[in-house]
Structures are given as structure tokens and as C-alpha cells.
Chains A and B, each alone.
With several copies, the nearest count.
Chain A
Amino acid sequence: MRYLPLTDTDRGEMLARIGVNTVDDLFADIPSNVLLKAPLDLPRRKGELEVERIMSRMAAKNVPASSVPFFVGAGAYKHHVPATVDHLIQRSEFLTSYTPYQPEIAQGTLQYLFEFQTQVAALTGMDVANASMYDGSTGTGEAVLMAHRVTKRRKAVLSGGLHPHYVDVVQTLSKMASDDVVALAPDVSATEDLLASIDDSVSCVVVQTPDVFGNVRDLKAIADKAHQHGALLIAVFTEVMSLGLLQSPGSMGADIVVGEGQSIGNALNFGGPYVGLFATQSKYVRQMPGRLCGETADADGNRGFVLTLSTREQHIRRDKATSNICTNSGLCCLAFTIHMTLLGEAGLKRLARINHANAVKLADQLAGVKGVEVLNQTFFNEFTVMLAKPAAEVVERLAEKGVLAGVPVSRLLPGAGLDRLLLVASTEVNTDDDRAAFVAALKEVL
């Protein structure tokens, strides 16, 4: 077998040195009635060519974003990632390394994590960032738990603009931990009265901007009210690209900023792996979940980096840990930080402007289609439209015409009476032709 270097001769010699007769002598602790005698009823090994054919056949049944006019968002976005990024993350020394527990031979990983943390802190306008979470949604769950630890309260208020899946993740975790959650009703036009929900029992307010319906939200008043009541403001984003153009959550008073970093450096991957970004203020760093990389020096006085503050973590604190997390999204961080380094400040801002410009163009064009109403006053690269027909049906018919038009709100919020709403995203990958195809197809369907 191509992956198994031992030869039968090797195996024989090794068993002899060990002093047993058969390999099953080494499995003697497995009760004999449980020990499998023959291979399981699954196919035998296959060569590369055959495996490639099987996998390619399955892949061919999906419609890749690049192959069609594509406007799907709602928490994951189609962007162009430079070829350099994917080349570099496949370097053996990055791809096949482990968590940098032995820093002397893991400075590559550690330095990029340190650079990543610095980039994320800058982007979010916060003091410190960790070395990433699984993704934005789980990071949001962790942020709520962290707020509970910091405030010693157990009630979170979730904005109606928070991505419904993020709401679900927080609620699942809170329900299991017997914490309270106040989830406000879906707030299509960003008119909810969040301030009214904030009182001295509240641990944190969780607000997404741009929210799931695309609205850009000003967090300052919410931050003020929260702070007056000893609560924290958790600012969430699902499109990190927006931070290139919008005021940072930190500058608006957020205490914890958490979000999805997929848009920079990472592919759509049908939902994962992605990379959760997580930042906070210095004073809360010891309550922050996740890995942290810190600067130090080696025995020769040379600068070096190590994982640090691990006394917060599960492998030391066990049931007293700040989180059960024991990995990060290493390679996805790396992709993020490489792409961000290639963009640089100038590139990121320009790319964000292009995203916004394309979305504005699309909104204006869609607004001209009979049966379409653009609901947003503000947005970055995604907005909500009200259609004359149920959105799920329209999306399905547009897919048949080769246009992937967006996410029907009913898919995220079934039964909420929002069936005619459609979330539409537009990024730098969309061309005039894409928009024209969308508009034309929509006219036929509506």
C-alpha cells in the first residue's frame, strides 16, 4: 500500500524483536469476541487514478461559484484569492507541522500567528486578538461565555440583526449551560430598540454590523448604554472585508469583536474550514478563549515567539479552563495573514471599495426590475430585496437558468413570514455580464 512503508520482511523482524509471534498478540487487550478477524465490509484499497475519478465524479455534481454569475453570501463570500496564498499554505513545513508546542522548531508558525494577531487587532480596532477560533459563529458563542465570566452575569441579549445561525449556536450553548438568552425578533430594517433590552442583569449585547440583512449599524449608543449598565458590547461581523471601509468596532466602543475571516485568503469550501477572528481589550485578555502567541527571547537573546498564557487553557486548567478549545484554524489563519499582507492597507481599502461599488451597482440595477424592491438604506456588499414571489422559489428557478442569486431569508428563518425576502451579495468577482445575466433572468422569473 503506497502509504505504508513497512514490508512483510520488516514486519517479521520487528515482531521478533518485540518477542511476539503475530501482530494480534499486540492487540491482546481487545476482548476476543470484539476483535475483528476480517476487514470490514467496505471497499478494498484503490489507486490514485481510481480515487480521483470517484471524487471528481462527485465534485462534478456541484456548481462552483466561479462557473456562474454568483451572488450568494449570508456569512460566506466568494472572493478572489491570489495564487501565492494557496501555494504557500501547502509548503510542507506549514501544512505538516503541529501546534507549535516546541517553539524552537516552530518559529515559522509562531511568527505568522503573531503577525496575524497584530493584523486582527488593527482591523478590529482592539488591543489584542487571539490566534483564531474555528469560525465566526463558534467564536460568537465563546464571546458570550467570556462576557459571562467577565461580568459574572449570565444573560445575553442578541440583536435581531445577528445571523440566525449564529443565534442558534449561541442559544444551543446557552441552553446547555443553563444561561439566559434574549434573542430579539428578526430586524430587517435595523429599527429594533436594542437599548431597551439593556439593564443591570445583562452580561452582554451582541450586535452584528453589517447585519445579516446588510444594514450598516452604528454601535456607539449601544456601547454607551451597555457600559452604563456594566454590560459588554460584543460586535460581530460575518464579512471581514467590510472592515476595510467601515469604522472599526473598537472605535465604536466594542469590548469584544468577533467574526468570520473566511473572505480573506480562504475558499468557500461549502462552509468550512473557515477562520474565526476574536479580539478584545487588554484588560480582558486572561478571560479570552483560544490560543495566544507572545513575543519573548531565546537563550542567546534573539527575538522569538511562543504560545503563552496557556494557564487559561484546558490542558492545564482542565474543568476550570476558559474554554475547552485546544486548536485554532492554523492554516486558515496563515491564508488570512498572507492574503492580508499581500493586500496591505491600500489594497484592502481598494478591494473593499470595489465590493461596495459592485453592490451599489447591483442594487441600482435590481431596483429597476419590476417586482423587486431593495430594502436597505445602507449596506456594504450585501443587501436585502423584497420580491414579488417567494424567494426560495425564485432562487431555484434562477439556479436552473444558471444564476446563483442569493440566500432566501426563509432558509435562515423558516416560518418567520419573510418568505419574499432575498439576501443578495456582490463582490469583486462580479462583472457587468454577471449583473446583466442576473437582471435578465430575474425579469423572466418574476
Chain B
Amino acid sequence: QIEPLIFEIGHHETTGVDLDEPEAFTPRLGGLERKEAIGLPGLSEPEAMRHYVRLSQMNYGIDTGLFPLGSCTMKHNARLNERMARLPGFSDVHPLQPVSTVRGALEVMDELSRYLVTLTNTTTVALSPKAGAHGELCGMMAIKAAIEAKGEGKTRNVVLVPDSAHGTNPATAALIGFTVRPVPARDDGWVHVDDVKKLLGPDVAAIMLTNPNTCGLFENQVVEIAKAIHDAGAYFYCDGANFNAIVGKARPGDLGIDAMHINLHKTFSTPHGGGGPGSGPVVLSARLAPFAPVPFITAENGVLTLVEQAKDATEQPFGRMTAFHGQMGMYVRALTYMLSHGSDGMKQASEDAVLNANYIRASLADLFSQPFGDKPCMHEVLFDDAWLKDTGVTTLDFAKAMIDEGYHPMTMYFPLVVHGAMLIEPTESESKASLDLFIAALRDLAMSAKKGETERFSGAPYHAPRRRLDETRAARTPVLKWTKPAPFAEAAE
């Protein structure tokens, strides 16, 4: 199943878009017209349709099978949400058309904000961040702005980050000039308040803590940690990547967080789309609320309006994250999800997600090894590779062998604090029947590995659009775009 590249099948003169040439006119380009060819191939519409349909057939998606990628929350993407996002009143409005012509769009943003603030028990929300990592940046900028407002900008420049954190956490902190101080991992998978206290001091600006954490556990000392952080004059940034486990079960504001980004594409099921676009609104506590970036929405005499520049002294926005108002398309999808589920459905979804993960855990516990002991997890279950010792099979091999069984692999080698980590997140979208088949497949593979059937693993995948790909070669001699093969180029001249 090899599909040629568009550059191999397209022609410069071919087009799949019919346009009439404009009548003759005098251009006003100041003599900067392009003279050279661009080098873009065109395809007629039938050719393009087939090319992309065939490409899609080489992909795996939630709609085609269980997608247990831990930390990524591959839940069902309802098509109602897609339909709503395509209503011309949402998809066909410009960010800078008069505010009087987009009241409904502001209403969507305001309603989404109300839901997010209610679900988290916080004070306000900055909607504009374009993805989770962008949300982290937003939250940390708000913290930095607050620290500077207190005149501590020069002294508070350390951020505590547990070793188990997503890489985006330290990267974000470093990006805006913080120094990262790691919080070491413990063998129970939890961050301990005592460890945190030891690292606290007048130089600490914030902690970045993921909760539920990347080991699939709810941080059971989170309230104490928050108190210690606040007592030290620092802020609590919560990585909300795993908020989906506790929506309707606990409110981060009640746990003491000051800022938390919410991945609308995870928790509220806007589609991942092969890597984006995401959306990462950030909820903020009362302490950080004044520093929220522009733009934001306020009500003036009951009419929603958009604030694109700060106007009065109670607002001290730290700046602007992006050109316009963030990911409207995702707001619509997320709000549609929330209206559909309701408070009861969202709570049930969290419970089912946790139930599904624990069902997998309980069903594999006799064969797989759990790094932090046999105890309940949240929405994802973490195994390590201790059980594969001496089998000659690695976590990578095991993952690739899952492909041959018709499954997308789980997240592997993350979190880094666990050796050969396998992080499985089934989400609430899977039926029990689906989980039972998945469990049976994993048990069969595990038995096979233990029996020493290494070929099944080392050569996997055998039944996929491609066999295992050479990633080393790709990185060593990067080929990042198509270039016309030399012989053909010569022949053409």
C-alpha cells in the first residue's frame, strides 16, 4: 500500500479549482511580482479525492478502534460537535468584524467560561491559549506578572517541577526565564508535601503539579501541598491534562490551585485531528484573575462585549497570547459536549473513565507489573517493564506487537520516572465488550512474551501499512521535503 506523493502525480498546470482569469488590469505590486515558478503540483478533484482518501486509509483513529494512549484521552468525538462548529454563524465570522455583529459568538465564549469556572471553582478563565502547552505558558505568565506586581520579580525565579511531569512543564517555565527545580520521584508514585516543603524558599515562584498525575494517581497530599506553597508566597500551577478523570468529582479550586489549563481536546473531546488544533483555556484563582491576558469578555449593562485592550485599573493584563480570540471552533465543540453531557453526564463520564482504567488494571494485574503497587488508579493505568525482564521483549516491541492485534499501542516510556513505562488510558468511550477483547489480546501477547515467542515482537508490526520504520536514519540524514529526483531533472533538461 504505497501512495505516491502529490509531487509525483501532480502537474503544475493541472488544477482542481475552476476560476476565470480576471479581466486585464494594471497590478499595483510595486514591481515585486513573482517571476519564478513556485514548484507546486496540482491535482484534479477526482485525483485529489482519491489521494487523500487513500492516505486516510493508512491511519488509525478512535473511530476505527480502541486508542489507549495514556495521557492523551482519545475519547469519542461526537459529530454533533462538528456540525455545530460548522454553523455559518460560528465558522464564517471574522474576529475583527464589529462586535455588534458577533454577540452570539461572545455568548458562546461567555457560556463556556461559566462552565469552566463552575467545574473548577475558580474566578476567571483566559480562553485564548491555542493548546495545552500554550495554556501552561499563559498560566505561568500570569504567575510571573503577579509576582512582579508584588515587587518580587527579581527574587522569585524558581519553579518546582516533579520528575514525572510532562516535558512541557519545565520547557514552559524555562521559556520565560524561570529556573526549574525538580521534585524527586517517590516509590509510591505520589508527590509528598514533606519533599515540597524542603524545596520551598523565598526564591520559589510556583510549583507545576499535574493532578491527577502522570502515573495515573490522584495526588493525595495536594491540599497540603497547596497550603505549603501558598504559605511560602508562591503559586500553584496545576497541569490540567488529566482533569478529565475528576470533572464533576472534585473542583481544582477546592484543592487550592491558582492556575490550570484545560485541554478542551482531551477533557471535552474536541478532535485531536492527527496532532491538533488543540485549545488550552486557563482557569485562574482570584489572586491571578487581574492578570489574565487580553482579549476577554465582560458584560456592560447586560450586553456582552470584548475587551481587546485593558481599560481600567482593576485589570492588569499581562499582555496578549495570540492575534485573535483563541480557538473559537474548539469552544463551540467543547460547549456542545458540555451541554450534551450536562453535569450528570460529565460526572458519569469521569466515573466511567476511572472504572474502565481500573477494570483493565484488575484484569492484567496478574501478568503485568505495576511500579507503585496494586492500588486503584484514576483514568489511566501505569505498568512498567519489570514483568518483561529476561523475555527479550521490550516495551517498544510489545507496543508494536499490539498493532498486529488491531490496536493502537498505549503510551510508552512515559512518565520517565518509570522504567519501560506502559500507560493505558481507555477513556469512558469504550464498552465493556470492547475492553474485554482488548484485555484478552493483551493477555495473549503477554503470555506469548513470557513463553519466549520473541519473533512476534521483535519484527512487529507485520500487519500494518508499514513495517517498523527506521527513525534513526530519519534523524541522522533528515529528508524534510520532497526534491525532484536528479535523473528525471536531467532528463527533463
CA distance A43 to B119 in the complex (A): 12
**B326 at interface (Cβ–Cβ under 8 A)?**
yes
Asked if residues B349 and A4 are in contact (CB atoms below 8 Å), the reply is: yes
Q: Which residues of A contact B431 (CB under 8 A)?
A: 5-6, 10
List residues of A (293-339) whose CB comes within 8 Å of B's CBs: 293-300, 302-306, 308-311, 313-321, 323-332, 334, 338
**A284 at interface (Cβ–Cβ under 8 A)?**
no
Asked if residues A327 and B276 are in contact (CB atoms below 8 Å), the reply is: yes
List residues of A (375-430) whose CB comes within 8 Å of B's CBs: 376-380, 395-396, 399, 404, 407, 411-412, 414, 428
List residues of B (331-385) whose CB comes within 8 Å of A's CBs: 332, 335-336, 338-349, 351-352, 354-356, 358-359, 361-363, 376-378
Interface stretch of the complex, out of A117-125, A197-205, A224-232, A437-445: A117-125
List residues of B (14-47) whose CB comes within 8 Å of A's CBs: 14-23, 25-30, 32-47
Asked if residues B134 and A46 are in contact (CB atoms below 8 Å), the reply is: no
CA distance A86 to B49 in the complex (A): 11
CB distance from A311 to the nearest CB of B (A): 7
Asked if residues A64 and B89 are in contact (CB atoms below 8 Å), the reply is: yes
Q: Given A3-B78, A63-B97 in contact, is the A30-B246 Cβ separation under 8 Å? A: yes
Asked if residues A135 and B322 are in contact (CB atoms below 8 Å), the reply is: yes
**B392 at interface (Cβ–Cβ under 8 A)?**
no
Asked if residues A357 and B17 are in contact (CB atoms below 8 Å), the reply is: no
CA distance A25 to B347 in the complex (A): 15
Q: Which residues of A contact B305 (CB under 8 A)?
A: none
> Which among B58, B83, B217, B323 is the interface contact of A165 at CB below 8 angstroms?
B323
Asked if residues B482 and A115 are in contact (CB atoms below 8 Å), the reply is: yes
Contact with A along B50-68 (1 / 0, CB 8 A): 0111011111111110010
CA distance A13 to B218 in the complex (A): 24
> Which among A44, A82, A84, A91 is the interface contact of B343 at CB below 8 angstroms?
A44
Asked if residues A272 and B329 are in contact (CB atoms below 8 Å), the reply is: yes
Asked if residues B72 and A344 are in contact (CB atoms below 8 Å), the reply is: no
Asked if residues B59 and A108 are in contact (CB atoms below 8 Å), the reply is: yes
**B490 at interface (Cβ–Cβ under 8 A)?**
no
Residue of B nearest to A121 (CB): B481
CA distance A23 to B326 in the complex (A): 37
Asked if residues B80 and A45 are in contact (CB atoms below 8 Å), the reply is: no
Asked if residues A293 and B480 are in contact (CB atoms below 8 Å), the reply is: yes
List residues of A (243-283) whose CB comes within 8 Å of B's CBs: 243-248, 251, 260, 267-273, 275
> Which among A2, A275, A348, A377 is the interface contact of B40 at CB below 8 angstroms?
A348
Q: Which residues of A contact B345 (CB under 8 A)?
A: 1, 3-4, 44-45
Q: Which residues of B contact A407 (CB under 8 A)?
A: 96
Asked if residues B467 and A299 are in contact (CB atoms below 8 Å), the reply is: yes
**B167 at interface (Cβ–Cβ under 8 A)?**
yes
Q: Which residues of B contact A11 (CB under 8 A)?
A: 352, 355
**B492 at interface (Cβ–Cβ under 8 A)?**
no
Interface stretch of the complex, out of B125-133, B230-238, B449-457: B125-133
Interface residues of B, CB < 8 Å — how many?
Answer: 210
Asked if residues B223 and A31 are in contact (CB atoms below 8 Å), the reply is: yes
Q: Is the interface of B mostly helix, strand, loop or mixed?
A: loop
Interface stretch of the complex, out of B104-112, B191-199, B282-290: B104-112
Q: Given A20-B376, A104-B467, A308-B471 in contact, is the A330-B130 Cβ separation under 8 Å? A: no
Q: Which residues of B contact A331 (CB under 8 A)?
A: 271, 273-274, 276-277
Residue of A nearest to B341 (CB): A45
**A185 at interface (Cβ–Cβ under 8 A)?**
no
Q: Which residues of B contact A363 (CB under 8 A)?
A: 28
Asked if residues B274 and A27 are in contact (CB atoms below 8 Å), the reply is: no
Q: Which residues of A contact B13 (CB under 8 A)?
A: 7, 344-346
Contact with B along A64-108 (1 / 0, CB 8 A): 111100101011101000111011111111111111111111111
Size bin of chain A's contact surface: 35 or more
Asked if residues A404 and B97 are in contact (CB atoms below 8 Å), the reply is: yes
Asked if residues B342 and A45 are in contact (CB atoms below 8 Å), the reply is: yes
**A196 at interface (Cβ–Cβ under 8 A)?**
no
Asked if residues B19 and A99 are in contact (CB atoms below 8 Å), the reply is: no
Q: Given A26-B376, A62-B102, A95-B61 in contact, is the A247-B32 Cβ separation under 8 Å? A: yes
Q: Given A117-B481, A346-B15 in contact, is the A4-B348 Cβ separation under 8 Å? A: yes
Most buried by B among A55, A135, A407: A55
Asked if residues A58 and B89 are in contact (CB atoms below 8 Å), the reply is: yes
Asked if residues B87 and A29 are in contact (CB atoms below 8 Å), the reply is: no
Residue of A nearest to B14 (CB): A344
**A340 at interface (Cβ–Cβ under 8 A)?**
yes
CB distance from B250 to the nearest CB of A (A): 5
Asked if residues B38 and A306 are in contact (CB atoms below 8 Å), the reply is: no
List residues of B (78-101) whose CB comes within 8 Å of A's CBs: 78-80, 82-84, 86-98, 100-101
Asked if residues A218 and B30 are in contact (CB atoms below 8 Å), the reply is: yes
Residue of A nearest to B107 (CB): A58
CA distance A428 to B17 in the complex (A): 13
CB distance from B132 to the nearest CB of A (A): 7
CA distance A391 to B329 in the complex (A): 29
**B308 at interface (Cβ–Cβ under 8 A)?**
yes
Asked if residues B30 and A175 are in contact (CB atoms below 8 Å), the reply is: no
List residues of B (268-318) whose CB comes within 8 Å of A's CBs: 271-279, 293-294, 308-309, 318
Asked if residues B344 and A122 are in contact (CB atoms below 8 Å), the reply is: no
**B491 at interface (Cβ–Cβ under 8 A)?**
no
Q: Given A285-B480, A334-B274 in contact, is the A165-B432 Cβ separation under 8 Å? A: no
Asked if residues A98 and B92 are in contact (CB atoms below 8 Å), the reply is: no
**B200 at interface (Cβ–Cβ under 8 A)?**
no
Asked if residues A47 and B19 are in contact (CB atoms below 8 Å), the reply is: yes
Most buried by B among A20, A84, A271, A353: A271
Asked if residues A61 and B103 are in contact (CB atoms below 8 Å), the reply is: yes
CA distance A346 to B349 in the complex (A): 21
CB distance from B259 to the nearest CB of A (A): 14
Residue of B nearest to A31 (CB): B223
Asked if residues A308 and B52 are in contact (CB atoms below 8 Å), the reply is: no
Asked if residues A323 and B481 are in contact (CB atoms below 8 Å), the reply is: no
Q: Given A297-B473, A323-B175 in contact, is the A83-B468 Cβ separation under 8 Å? A: no
Residue of B nearest to A354 (CB): B22
CB distance from A354 to the nearest CB of B (A): 5
Asked if residues A299 and B12 are in contact (CB atoms below 8 Å), the reply is: no
Contact with B along A190-220 (1 / 0, CB 8 A): 0000000000000000000000000010100
CB distance from B231 to the nearest CB of A (A): 18
Contact with B along A352-368 (1 / 0, CB 8 A): 01101110110100000
CA distance A159 to B17 in the complex (A): 36
Residue of B nearest to A295 (CB): B479
Q: Which residues of A contact B180 (CB under 8 A)?
A: 318-319
Q: Which residues of B contact A309 (CB under 8 A)?
A: 475, 478
CA distance A5 to B62 in the complex (A): 14
Pick 28 A–B contacts, CB within 8 A, sort by A. A1-B349, A4-B349, A18-B376, A36-B249, A51-B80, A59-B88, A62-B105, A91-B53, A95-B61, A98-B72, A99-B272, A102-B399, A104-B400, A104-B461, A105-B403, A105-B464, A115-B482, A123-B38, A128-B480, A175-B319, A218-B32, A293-B480, A314-B167, A331-B273, A347-B17, A353-B21, A357-B25, A360-B28
Nearest first, the 4 A-B pairs at minimum CB distance are A344-B42, A59-B89, A271-B324, A172-B319
5 additional contacts, CB 8 Å, given A5-B47, A84-B78, A267-B91?
Answer: A14-B432, A39-B347, A96-B74, A272-B328, A308-B474
